[in-house]
Structure 1
Amino acid sequence: MLELRPAEPSADLWRDREAYPDRLLFHTPQWLRFVAEAQHAEPVLATVHDGATPVGHFTGLVTRRFGLRILGSPMAGWTTSYLGFNLRPAVSRRDALAALAPFAFGEMGCAHLEVRDRFAREPDLHGLGMRWASAPTAVIDLSPREDQLFGAMAPACRRNIRKAARSGVTIEEAHDDPSFADDFYAQLRDVFAKQNLVPTYSIDRVRQLIRHLAPSGDILLLRARDPDGRCIATAVLPWYHRTMYFWGGASYRPDQHLRPNEALIWHALRWARDRGVTEFDFVGGNAYKQKYGTTEVPVPWARRSRSPLVAGLRDAAKEAFALRQRAVARFARSPA
């Protein structure tokens, strides 16, 4: 039986976490500071023990909903991907997940928990009293040669990348540029408007992300410009250790015929590969991502509540958010 024990952040603790091969950007202090600020949440660190022997770490954050303490590792809407566990290679993820509920409902006094662990699979959740949704992600292996990466893409995708170059689309990296968040968010609004929606987060979320990750160099910010120098597309790409993540991308609809989105991704893949990154993670699975030569990886999103009432509140809150988003979009489209 494994056990989770609360841990206070310290230099020694962070150094130990960095030694685990399954560490991700989302387990780092800079990322947790971003999520804590954006969600008004409290980071939760714990060590995983097998008897007296520490064999791993857990990362999450506690927030409040309906007056109840909620442990998210992560929660939907946090614009963060995977948290969960860092474990020694021989340690069972199922056993670690089994130890999570007693920690959340007992030690932390929470009424609900959610967890998405990058290396957990659905069989790990069977018999643990959890509900889960399939939440696969699309990844690209960056270890092949550059020409092999390009060749693995769909023919139409390769043509679009070439078209962007012929059309005079150029890609630039943004550094210490406060206007980048404004460019990205204006394009994001246009993306959502196509579906009669509004973005699920404010521009402050983008600024917070850049502010917390830029000092450590764990983020790549890209702009695509048309031949006249106008910014027509952007991409936000955090990275750490062996993986780069597609946190967000956006473009203006009238300029999409120039294919700036494909050009941005192709630039990011080469940039990451040149720096020893071995995986590009789109952080979600959509049909349009398959054209880049992706492989789908299953990553279940699991949850458990202390009572059926709390589970119902969670589902009601999700439905209310969707309704509110559509109402805001209708208001934004209405004449003044």
Structure 2
Amino acid sequence: MLRLRRVEPTAALWAERETYDDRLIFHTEPWLRFVAESQGAYPVLARVEDGGRAVGHFTGLVSKRFGLRILGSPMAGWTTSYVGFLLDEDVPRREALAALMPFAFDELGCAHLEVRDRRLAPADLDGLGLRWDAAPTAVISLTPSEDDLFAAMASACRRNIRKAEKSGVVIEEASYDDPTFASDFYDQLRDVFAKQNLVPTYPIDRVRSLLSHAGPPGNLLLLRARDDAGRCIATAILPWHHRTMYFWGGASYRAHQGVRPNEALIWHALRWARSRGITEFDFVGGNSYKAKYGTVEVPVPWARRSRSPLVAGLRDAAKQGFALKQRAKARLTR
């Protein structure tokens, strides 16, 4: 029977976690520092043990909402993706998830738990008292040749990439300490949300925190698209680690979308990642527009459980309230 035992972060512990084949950038120390800072949360690390023998690790962060302790692995709105477990290959994720319940509610004293694990399947959740939403992601295997990757895209996508090149769009790589990258990205993000009469769901400080924490280890690819006049018209933020690159965010000015900078950014990222031995590109979401790049949809359930129905109701009310607040802010800024 599995159990979780809380452990303190040490250099040896971080090195041990890096030996697991299912490790993601979202499990790393710099990434957790970013999430902790932006959410006012603190990381909780635990070993998964079977009879005292370590067979994996759990990663989460505890925050407070409505005066209640919340364990997120992750929570919605944290601008991070799958966290959950690192496990030996022969350890069932369902058993690890079952062991998480007493750890979250009894040992940590939390009132609510949310978990999204890249390798959890819907069948793993049956009978554990969890509610869950389908939260699929779109991925691209980078193992085919560059020519085959390009051929797998929709014909319109290929035309747009060629159009960007013919229009003089140039993709450049930026450094995490570039003094203008965060403001370039965020200004374009405002324009993206304005198209839907909304405002961004997070402040510019979130972007700056990401660059300062996750940038120095060298695991962020930051891209700018410039037009033929040298103006920055689109940007993208792409973390990578182990064998996967992720799409954290992209933005562009509506006035310049006719020269197709977004497709050019993604194509540059795919080739960059493939040339460095990265074998998968993960869009971290399943929006239909991503299918044009030749993606495959992968199911990743987002599971949650509350100590009481009242807490579950508060969680749902907070989600609805955030959406209303966002629309109200947009009206005030118009």
Q: Could you say which TM-score interval applies, normalised by the shorter chain?
A: over 0.9
> Structure 2: any 5+ residue segments left out of the alignment?
none
Equivalence map 1:141-152=2 (5 Å): 141-152=141-152
* Distance in 1 of aligned mates of 2:9 and 2:174: 32
Deviation at residue 6 of structure 1 after TM alignment: 0.2
1:156 aligns with 2:163: no
Runs of 4+ in 1 over 2 A off after TM superposition: none
Deviation at residue 98 of structure 1 after TM alignment: 0.4
Deviation at residue 213 of structure 1 after TM alignment: 1.3
In percent, how many aligned pairs have the same letter? 75
1:205-245 superposed Cα distances (whole Å, 9 cap, x missing partner): 00000001111001010000000000000000010110000
2:331 aligns to what? 330
1:79-107 superposed Cα distances (whole Å, 9 cap, x missing partner): 00010000000000000000111000011
1:130 aligns to what? 130
1:89 aligns with 2:89: yes
1:7-60 superposed Cα distances (whole Å, 9 cap, x missing partner): 110111111100000000000000000000000101000000111111000000
- Letter of the structure 2 residue corresponding to residue 2 of structure 1: L
1:241 aligns with 2:235: no
1:202 aligns with 2:195: no
Secondary structure in 1 matching 2:222: strand
* Distance in 1 of aligned mates of 2:240 and 2:42: 23
* Distance in 2 of aligned mates of 1:190 and 1:328: 14
- Letter of the structure 1 residue corresponding to residue 69 of structure 2: R
1:100-136 superposed Cα distances (whole Å, 9 cap, x missing partner): 1100001101000000000001000000000000000
Equivalence map 1:12-161=2 (5 Å): 12-161=12-161
- Letter of the structure 1 residue corresponding to residue 98 of structure 2: A
Secondary structure in 1 matching 2:44: strand
> Structure 1: any 5+ residue segments left out of the alignment?
none
- Letter of the structure 1 residue corresponding to residue 191 of structure 2: D
- Letter of the structure 1 residue corresponding to residue 211 of structure 2: I
Secondary structure in 2 matching 1:276: coil
Deviation at residue 322 of structure 1 after TM alignment: 0.5
1:272 aligns with 2:273: yes
State the number of aligned residues: 333
1:319 aligns to what? 320
2:193 aligns to what? 192
Deviation at residue 173 of structure 1 after TM alignment: 0.3
Secondary structure in 2 matching 1:20: coil
Secondary structure in 2 matching 1:55: strand
- Letter of the structure 2 residue corresponding to residue 187 of structure 1: Q
Secondary structure in 2 matching 1:215: coil
1:310 aligns with 2:297: no
1:189-219 superposed Cα distances (whole Å, 9 cap, x missing partner): 0000000000000000000000011110010
The two structures have a TM-score, normalised by structure 2, of 0.99
Secondary structure in 1 matching 2:313: helix
2:182 aligns to what? 181
